[in-house]
Structure 1
Amino acid sequence: TNFSAFFANYAGFDYNPENSAIPEFYRLCRFMGWGGYNPDREEAREAFKDALVKEFNDIYGTDENDINSWHKICVVVGLDPLPDTLKEARDKVLTRYINLIDLVDNPAGRVHSFGSVEELRQYTIVTKKFFPKENAYAGGLLKYLLREIL
Structure 2
Amino acid sequence: MPFERDPTALLADEFRKLALDSGWGKKSAKFKKERTKFYGGAVAQDFTTFWGSNASRLDAWQDLCRHLGITDVPSSIKNCKLALKPFYVNLVDLVDSKRQGTKPKIFSSAGQLATYIQNTGKIFPKEQAKANPLLRQFLVVVFG
Structure-1-length-normalised TM-score: 0.76
**2:60 aligned with 1:69, yes or no?**
yes
Deviation per residue, 1:36-93 (Å, 9 max, x gap): 234x984675355223212111111112232111111111110002112211110011
Report the CA distance between 1:17 and its aligned residue.
4.2
Give distance in 2, aligned partners of 1:45 and 1:74. 26
Q: 1:123 aligns with which of 113, 116, 126?
A: 116
Compare the two structures and name the one with the higher helix fraction: 2
Pair 1:16–1:56, CA change in 2 (3 A): closer
Q: Which runs of 5+ in 1 are unaligned?
A: 1-7
Quote the residue 2:29 is aligned against.
37
Pair 1:95–1:37, CA change in 2 (3 A): closer
Give distance in 1, aligned partners of 2:86 and 2:20. 38
Give distance in 1, aligned partners of 2:35 and 2:118. 20
Quote the residue 1:5 is aligned against.
none
Q: 1:100 aligns with which of 91, 95, 110?
A: 91
Count of aligned residue pairs for this structure pair: 139
Give distance in 2, aligned partners of 1:47 and 1:96. 24
Give distance in 2, aligned partners of 1:108 and 1:136. 23
Deviation per residue, 1:80-138 (Å, 9 max, x gap): 02112211110011111111111211124211221111221222222221111113993
